[in-house]
Structure 1
Amino acid sequence: MSSPIWHPFTQHGLGEPIPTVVRTEGAALHTRDGRRIVDAISSWWVTTHGHRNPRIMAAIAAAAGSMDQIIFAGWSHEPAEAVAAGLLRLMPGSLTRVFFSDSGSTAVEVALKMALGYWLNRGEPRHRLLVLEHGYHGDTIGAMSVGARGVFNQAYAPLLFDVATIPFPMAGAEQATLDALEAACREGPAALIVEPLIVGAGGMLTYPAWVLAEMRAICARAGVLFIADEVMTGWGRTGTLLACEQAGVVPDILCLSKGLTGGAVPLAVTMASEPIYAAHLSEDRARMFFHSSSYTANPIACAAAVANIAIWEEEPVLARVADLAARQAARLARLSGVRNGRTLGTIAAVDLGPEGADYLSALGPRLLAFFRDRDLLLRPLGNTVYVMPPYCIDDADLDAVYAAIQAAAEMV
């Protein structure tokens, strides 16, 4: 009998090999059969400083020596308090409240519920949500509802609520996006949710900072809440701590996860401005914020986040990010036979093969196998190959990644 494990985003009927990892270190995974695999996508975008960062691992070990899970409804603990204090030091000053959860999807669910609760408790319930075309915000019901509709969620269509979609600001058509947002805002929606500067699973499509700034301004003028999903873009991926910084934008609600613990263990937060919190503050228990999970603010995960925050405050992380961004851009520029090469901070992407190929393109599995056979973890989005490595990756590993992309371009 094969393994009983049912893997995510894996069609087991294809019989593709599933390597077993026995050790991680830096920018590499080591498998049971003795291979060293370069992790060129940070194990699904989570690992920032590198696998098993010593400071984060030590913090996890120390926390495990004194605490395990503690109920967080009406109780607290020092690691969570330290995470919240650290986030208030690092993040925009108007984001004064920190709500813990355990993944990017749940951080988004929390943000959506905060937005709807804000309007209900103000006595003017608004239910409509605005989303950006091609967006992806997770795989729980609310997160799927505000993401792009397609093969990812077609089986679950009866569960998804209706949203208004704003066209993606393609180069040369940015004004159409802004005009559509202005028109939608006139109808009194609750909030707009966006991935700032780049949509991830939607194809690593980028758009300029001035568009993000104008979208925020339109929402502010119309009194529409602005939710920034920085689950993927936060913690340096786009070249700054938050992508929103590049547009001078501060959201009403901010979603963070992935790099929050350096990618070591699951943890998420949704940060909110004081008016969002105040709308739920009352002596009426019916107005409390009704959301939690059993593992909210797990102390061991919080300890990892405290260590990550300390790394950001005490080490030259942004210099490492800038160095990696420059090295990526230089290698991308040397590729031939690729289309639409683009970079944003430490993220680089190209399109291979015919135009118009979607996520289920037959090219995707071919590319996946091609890279796997060369001891590289690259997981194309259809015919889009992207590179999003840990910030510690060295030149030899990066050269191997780009040599394989060049070979793949010549193959297709």
Structure 2
Amino acid sequence: MRKSEQIPPLGVRGLVARDKQFLWHPYTQHKTATPPIGIVKGQGALLWDEDGKQYIDAIASWWVNPYGHSNKYVADAIYKQLTSLEHVLFGGFTHEPAVLLAERLTEILPSGQRRLFFSDNGSTAVEIALKVALQYFYNKGEKRTKIIAFENAFHGDTFAAMAASGISFFTEAFRGSLIEVERIPVPIEGNEQESFDALSKLAATGEYAAFIFEPLVQGAAGMVMYSPEALDELMGICKSSTIFTIADEVMTGFGKTGKNFACDYLAQQPDMMCLSKALTGGTIPMAITTFTQELFEGFYDDDVNKALFHGHTFTANPTGCAAALASLDLLQTDEMQDNLVRINKKHLAFKQEIENHPRVRTVRVLGVILALEITREGNEDYYGDFRNRLYDFFIKHGVILRPVGNIVYILPPYIMSNELLEKVYDVVRQAVEEVR
């Protein structure tokens, strides 16, 4: 990758050394980790570090930035909102950006989603959904205190979200402090009946309040994919046993699967949805949990104690709502919809090319998501040595990719050009050949 001609301002030089004195990074063992990279500028699908090196952001900065860095349309919407109302408490008050965003979202959400609750991030969106599921039955005087989730799920890092997550080393230190969750197998191809049987057995007990799932794609597990038909079957089992279904669309929402939401592929529809990440185009932290009217009415009562006593300081922040409205505008343009189709076609062509390579075990594609599993001997830890060598190889070659064990995934901003996509594919080709 060529060097940018931009010279970073004096105030941002030495970022890594200054960072080291004060900061604690996510998912990082600081004693052994490679120092972070100091980023000073972003534009489109590109980032530049303080030394002027250019990087292709091939994962949209943890899946949040579909419309590119420093997007002027979103930035202008944020600026305009800041000049009229930057924030107001949402307890006892409301405002135009929140109401308008709710109106706009319910137009494109799967049918049945009628009530929106704002929060700050994906974990809190999940936390709210699980609390609502449990309290709904409590309000009705029915004892249902358990949750169902998939094996190897990831739903966030707050306590209820951790409990629903199945990647054990993320949650091992908190075992015994979490709500009770039973896990069922993911209905990947050839494993569907085992998943159906496991859920049917649990549903028959009458002890479970909700089933939470990442629809069609398990992100942090390595972009594990399964069919809409299998998920429809599981949701049907839940509905017949009055078990609420929670679609965690924090990763999959807003176009990543080729449709507005992964649930748009389904015949069944969830009772709750969790939205965040791309909601504001990667600008301002915000999340929304959506509900059917039935769930809302389970809290609508003369008894104040049956209310949902949950809130966040920045609930429905007007500036975040403005960013989300601008992001929805962009998503719904013909250009952006064409980009989703274009990137999917590019991914499918790359899949066809590389899937027969002797070092490639599988390649999966859905929408703008591509996941490639590299064959290697032995088991590979989530943050193991092979994964780290892959990551370092990509960074050296100016591409930001974060492998999950031996699985490399690409989830680019929708505005990424074919030229940049080809550069990403080329670096992945090299990694398959060279990283051992």
- What's the offset of the Cα at 1:316? 4.2
Greater CA drift, 117-126 or 143-152: 117-126
For CA contacts below 8 A with separation 6 or more, give which structure has more relative contact order. 1
| TM-score, normalised relative to structure 2 | 0.92
1:200 counterpart = 2:219: yes
Identify if the C-alpha distance between structure 1 residues 323 and 292 changes in structure 2 by more than 3 Å, giving closer, same or farther: same
Query: Equivalent residue for 1:332?
Result: 351
Q: Which residue in the other structure is 2:390 paired with?
A: 367
The equivalent position to 2:72 in structure 1, one of 20, 29, 54, is 54
The 5-angstrom pairing of residues 12-411 of structure 1 reads 12-188=30-206, 189-335=208-354, 336=357, 337-352=359-374, 353-354=376-377, 356-411=379-434
Q: How far apart are 1:15 and its partner, in Å?
A: 4.6
Please point out which of 16, 22, 41 is paired with 1:4.
22
Q: Give distance in 2, aligned partners of 1:195 and 1:30.
A: 33
Per-residue CA deviation, residues 192-215 of structure 1 (Å, 9 max, x unaligned), is 000000101112111111101111
**CA RMSD for the aligned pairs?**
1.4
Give, in angstroms, the shift of residue 318 of structure 1: 2.6
CA distance in 1 between partners of 2:178 and 2:377 (Å):
32
CA contact (8 A) 1:332 1:402 kept: no
- Give distance in 2, aligned partners of 1:91 and 1:326: 25
Encode CA deviations 1:89-136: one digit per residue, 9 max, x unaligned.
111231110100010000000100111111111221311100011110
Question: Which portions of structure 1, spanning 4 or more consecutive aligned residues, are displaced by more than 6 angstroms?
Answer: none
Code of the aligned partner of 1:342: R
Deviation at 1:314, TM superposition (A): 4.1
- The 8 Å contact of residues 116 and 291 in structure 2, kept in 1 or not, is answered as yes
SS of 1:3's equivalent?
helix
Q: Cα gap change, 1:212/1:164 in structure 2, threshold over 3 Å: closer, same or farther? A: same
Instruction: Give CA-to-partner distance per residue, 1:265-298, whole Å, 9 cap, x none.
Output: 2111000000100010112211110111111111
Using the TM superposition, name which of 223-232 and 113-122 deviates more: 113-122
Question: How many equivalent pairs are there?
Answer: 412
Question: How many Å separate the matches in 2 of 1:291 and 1:245?
Answer: 29
Whether the 8 Å contact between 2:336 and 2:415 is mirrored in structure 1 is: no
Mark the CA change 1:122 to 1:186 in structure 2 (over 3 Å): closer, same or farther: same
Question: 1:10 and 1:334 mapped to 2: Cα distance?
Answer: 35
Q: CA deviation at 1:373?
A: 0.5
Give the share of equivalent positions with the same residue, in percent: 39
Gaps of 5+ in 1: none
